[in-house]
Amino acid sequence: MDYELDNRIALVTGAGRGNGRAIANLLGENGATVIVNDIEQEPASETAEAVRNAGGQATVITADVSDEAEVQAMFEEAEDQFGAVDLLVNNAGIGEGDRFRNKPGMEVWKRNMEVNLYSAIHCCTHALDGMLGQGYGKIVNVTSIHTKNGIGMSPQYDVSKFGVLGLTKTLALELGRDGIRVNAVAPGWVETRMTEGFDPQTRDQITELNPLGRFADPTEIAHAVAFLCSPASDYINGHELRVDGGQQPIDNWKHRYEDSETETE
């Protein structure tokens, strides 16, 4: 499938593993020059090498995207090398949290907001001048299946991802006439490091309530992102594309914490 991304400069955050690596690989395969961001050098370099081995172009810029100063430096370096970033994929995130009734400290809330929401705000802020200057840009924010119903086990994560969805909607309204499209992809349960620690009962419950009967592969999330980065999505703006296999709400997570007072996700 050709997403027609030749000569586009794409920056993918959290691209060292999982969905981010799959997204970087697919954008590179379709002609984009990929700036691979991750907080860790080694996995980012592995992703960039995979992109290059597949015939694409990639470079690595490590940065903690929850830190605005590091994000600013990342975009300055990217623009020095390549000019304005055309395609921004805000994929970096964490899945930490604890039930509200356990009264987790504000540090847990702060960490989720910084990594999941503020990172997207920082990256949009520093991508914007270049996109406005050229009258073109595609921003894809990675939200979550949690924005459909919430889950009830990790309100810190849920709130941060609802925030990313709100950011997507409001920026789409503000920036559409400037030639910038802002959309989101909401993955369901994917075979990544975030889910590999799920106990068998949780995995069975998830797959039982999924019409496709399985978790997604990261490449399936990547195809949704690539579509929203492509010319085929030029009239799509402010949309959250759910890639969850039609997953139904999981109402009973009691088995995950019934014997624990401070279980975390």
Could you give the C-alpha distances from 144 to 68, 107, 137, 221, in angstroms and in order?
23, 22, 23, 11
* In 14-136, beta strands by DSSP E: 33-38, 57-62, 87-90
Q: Which of 118, 157, 235, 257 is catalytic?
A: 157
- Helix/strand/coil percentages in the chain, nearest 5: 50, 15, 35
Active site includes 157? yes
Distances (CA, A) of 210 to 164, 194, 201, 213, 256: 24, 18, 14, 5, 19
**Phi and psi (nearest 5°) for 4?**
55, 60
The residue type found at 183 is N
Q: What's the half-sphere exposure (Cβ side, CA atoms, 13 Å) at 163?
A: 18
What are the catalytic residues? 157
